[in-house]
Chains A and B, each alone.
Chain A
């Protein structure tokens, strides 16, 4: 297909997608801007406090130097690792028949290389959540 699709493979192909993006973006911005103008305003100091049980709100996690569990960071790193793997697997999958056995062996080596740190993290308990 590449030779027939050259005429339609320019960036112009993406134009309708950008139009849809602009329409939904415009709708979202419109809604967010119109809401405070249309709705009522009844000022009350209590309403502006963070939603929480108890009389005194707990220290703010954002401004007060609260800490985020390191688990999320680990998950994020693992995600990046696997995301890169995915990004490399897609082109292989598209061209799998063209590259044949050689490509398969190369991809298998790559997958094994990614799996080793994964197994290591699993064994070290990086995937435990409690």
Chain B
């Protein structure tokens, strides 16, 4: 069925051709709508996040500004425009100015390749609900998130302050580490879709979502997606308890707002990207897609499915933030480099191997399962040969020298504290002086009185 559909689509005109024939006003309309969509989704997301997290913590959340409190983030954003802008003395002004611009500009570009829906008619013009269908659509999203790191690093560096610099370094290391895992998890998707274009990837999922077909890739992508956008539980660059605000500590006013906008737009773009790559994009989910011979896959309906899938991912972000505590940095880097990267590499080799066998070697599924099972069994048996790592015996509680100020077990506690000893010493000295004074003839009557009383006590 999918091949039939694809053949028809090719006969009519390819997606890219239809999009290239868009008149200029339609392109402009799409650009403006996409930009507005990004901004509105950011405002919505901030509120939604605050409300959902509040509910998870048995609070009410923002409920004052506007109906149900939904205008709170808009009010906050407007307020940010009217607060004082502080540029610290140590800042490199040009770079400090440039960093938020880079961050927010690149964040929006990812929207261009997300397919929101199939062919529709807008004011008599047939077009796809997508800005451009590039043959390298997937790379555009990856490139945008990679260039967005420049904004973070430059912003942290240019602030001329220790906390932002540390936050920026962490953020850079984190984003590039998780970008590897993310990129490798995409290889399997591209392998199955045989294309880098986001539209083709959606078309390739007509018979089944890649989330089910390539489940390991999906899991790795979702984890990497959270790491890539610096969100909880991977929000180490902004760990309040360690780094104040991370790379944007020294930013205020609208420059700070731009960083905030970039973070949320990145989340929205990556959620839409995940829905496109793994959840069938704009196509209706299974039971609905069967109704009325695919009626719900035509016209404007797909936009609804796309938004629902995207919002599901965004809710997942919020859910994570409301549930999980923050990772420690070494745990986080270990997860990225020692778990996600090797697993996705092995998965890519496996998938590519199976694919090559099926297309080239005329090998059936049963043989693949048998030999694959044998190979897995062999690997499991081989892992038994790996010597077990010696576990250090830690049943003894370290008494001293563990890094904490613990007193030794054989510590002799003196009868009197150093303070008491010092006081007694001072007292004896005073008495001795007083006696010497009494012996001499120059002692006054007052001191003689005092001395007498002291002697009486003794």
A residues with CB within 8 A of B: 1, 4-5, 7-9, 12-17, 19-21, 23-25, 27-29, 31-32, 34-36, 38-42, 47-52, 57-58, 60-63, 66, 68-69, 71-72, 75-76, 78-79, 82-83, 86, 89-90, 92-97, 100-101, 103-104, 107-108, 111, 115, 118, 122, 127-130
Q: Is the CB of B184 within 8 A of A101?
A: no
Q: Helix, strand, loop or mixed for chain A's interface?
A: helix
> Which residues of the partner chain B approach A16 to less than 8 Å between Cβ atoms?
19, 22, 27, 30-31, 112, 131-132
Q: Is the CB of B359 within 8 A of A35?
A: no
Residues of B contacting A79 in the complex (Cβ-Cβ under 8 angstroms): 176-177, 179-180
A63 near B139 with CB under 8 A, answer: no
CA distance A96 to B349 in the complex (A): 12
Decide yes or no: A38 and B82 within 8 Å by CB, A4-B14, A12-B20, A94-B190 being known contacts: yes
Q: Could you list 15 A-B pairs, sorted by A, with CB under 8 Å?
A: A12-B20, A13-B19, A14-B132, A32-B101, A34-B81, A34-B254, A39-B85, A60-B162, A71-B173, A76-B172, A79-B180, A93-B194, A96-B356, A96-B359, A118-B341
Question: CB-CB contacts of B343-362 with A at 8 A, as 1s and 0s?
Answer: 00100110011011101110
B200–chain A nearest beta-carbon distance, Å: 8
Tell whether B320 is near chain A: CB-to-CB under 8 Å: no
Q: In the complex, which of the residues A7, A27, A47, A57 has the most CB atoms of chain B within 10 Å of its own CB atom?
A: A27
Nearest-Cβ distance from residue A112 to partner chain B, whole angstroms: 9
The CA of A128 and the CA of B108, in the complex, are separated in Å by 35
B32 within 8 A of A: yes
Name the interface size band of chain B.
Answer: 35 or more
**Of B113, B139, B348, most A-chain CB atoms within 10 Å:** B348
B158 to chain A, nearest CB (A): 8
Known contacts A20-B35, A28-B105, A127-B333; is A101 also within 8 Å of B131 by CB? no
Contacting B90 at CB < 8 Å: which of A5, A63, A93, A128? A63
- Give Cα A36 to B251, complex, Å: 12
B277 within 8 A of A: no
